Structure 1
């Protein structure tokens, strides 16, 4: 299997497991999905390093050019509130610090979006810009962005669900500030970039992965024709 297929296959396998054990709750989902992904990566890519939200960070990754960055269950709270569909599985490969390969599984929708078959972003409908936002805790920067763009909001749960809403044409912009880690964005960024979307930090600078501190607090994914407008609004 090539790397694209590995990412897509593992996201699908973890998603199937999570659906089967959903009644066990989010903690079990995090743990069992992580165990599956680590075991499969050890089998399929034994020479690569792994950075996972649910595992102790191994500094050996800093010596490797290829690092798999995974979030076994993105949106633990949403997963624990069935039948909510807005949770995801992230499987990505960063090469020389760039989100190169990625798959985002949306198990409740039966979908895996991945870089091996880059999604085609639908045309934007007429009307206000649509911004994917958190259901409960949109940051000040995102609230200001919505106001400055006179945008419509599309509330939903996990980071992967919001990012893929832009890829699937259900939103035009996903901006986040206030705290994320590399596993929250690496796979969504790889998929969004492969689909031709703009990806960056909210100041427009590039996203870099496999750094000593995996804290990567902000993110912008949007339609490319809106990038200058959105970045200008974020800059105030």
Structure 2
């Protein structure tokens, strides 16, 4: 992989190759020892991504879920934010496809490039060629909210009832945001704990495709912060954002 490739291509190609390695690992190891498979998956993808970025972008810092947080990133102009295996639980469950590899670049205060590989679905969504967002949702179609399958926010069901929406539980945050990008869902909402690596890459792609992405109070999502905790998020079509933020506020107040 040549170092002259642009950042968008680097993000896409590294996420895709890490995903291929994870599929091979899954195939070789099987699912009888899920805890071992999860550990191997995290380590394999992290080592590949970290070493590849060190070779291709040696001057850049890296923030990885599986790596040591080096404070030097806070002084860096360019930081790669990676989640080598997002949806580790789902990765170790046979026939599940809702796990992902995240590779994003933060540069001068903004997300500059990103890619989300969905290896078990055979695709990578990236800022090289963001998904096309239709001008309008099909009229009369019921809203679909995707949220965590294991720890959904308490207010989501009240929100869904208020909107007459269907709740679609999924694993990886990247898979959920990609579901919105691909029209499988209309809304992704989460509260209760995440980190920058959970959302940086999918949010980069979502922004490039024209989606709204913010905190659930409407505040901007900020990356490469001293504390990488980024506990809540809303991703949706831009015309839905004001209504959804108000609905989330109302539903949360009833908690």
State the TM-score, normalizing by the size of structure 2: 0.90
Q: Distance in 1 between matches of 2:14 and 2:208?
A: 19
**Map of 2:101 onto structure 1:** 89
**Map of 1:34 onto structure 2:** 46
**Map of 1:3 onto structure 2:** 7
Q: Distance in 1 between matches of 2:40 and 2:19?
A: 13
Indicate whether 1:142 and 2:156 are aligned. Answer: yes
Instruction: Using the TM superposition, give the Cα deviation of residue 26 of structure 1 relative to its aligned residue in structure 2, in angstroms.
Output: 1.2
**Map of 1:46 onto structure 2:** 58
**1:105-152: per-residue Cα shift (whole Å, max 9, x none)?**
000011000001111124533322110122232111323322222211
**Which residue of 152, 168, 175 corresponds with 2:189?**
175
Q: Please give the residue correspondences for 1:23-172 in structure 2 after superposition, counting only pairs within 5 Å.
A: 23-24=28-29, 25-122=37-134, 123-125=136-138, 126-172=140-186
Structure 1 or 2, whichever has the larger Rg, is 2
Q: Distance in 2 between matches of 1:31 and 1:164?
A: 24
State the TM-score, normalizing by the size of structure 1: 0.97
Q: How many residues align?
A: 236
Deviates more, 1:76-85 or 1:144-153: 144-153
Q: Distance in 2 between matches of 1:111 and 1:82?
A: 19
Gaps of at least 5 residues in structure 1 are: none
Q: CA RMSD in A?
A: 1.1
**1:150-187: per-residue Cα shift (whole Å, max 9, x none)?**
21111211111101000000000001100000000000
Contact 1:52 1:183 (8 Å CA) reproduced: yes
Instruction: Using the TM superposition, give the Cα deviation of residue 95 of structure 1 relative to its aligned residue in structure 2, in angstroms.
Output: 1.3
Instruction: Using the TM superposition, give the Cα deviation of residue 9 of structure 1 relative to its aligned residue in structure 2, in angstroms.
Output: 0.3
Q: What SS does the corresponding residue of 2:185 show, helix, strand or coil? A: coil
Q: Distance in 2 between matches of 1:173 and 1:232?
A: 14
Indicate whether 1:233 and 2:250 are aligned. Answer: no
Contact 2:157 2:167 (8 Å CA) reproduced: no
Q: Distance in 1 between matches of 2:40 and 2:175?
A: 20
Contact 2:83 2:101 (8 Å CA) reproduced: yes
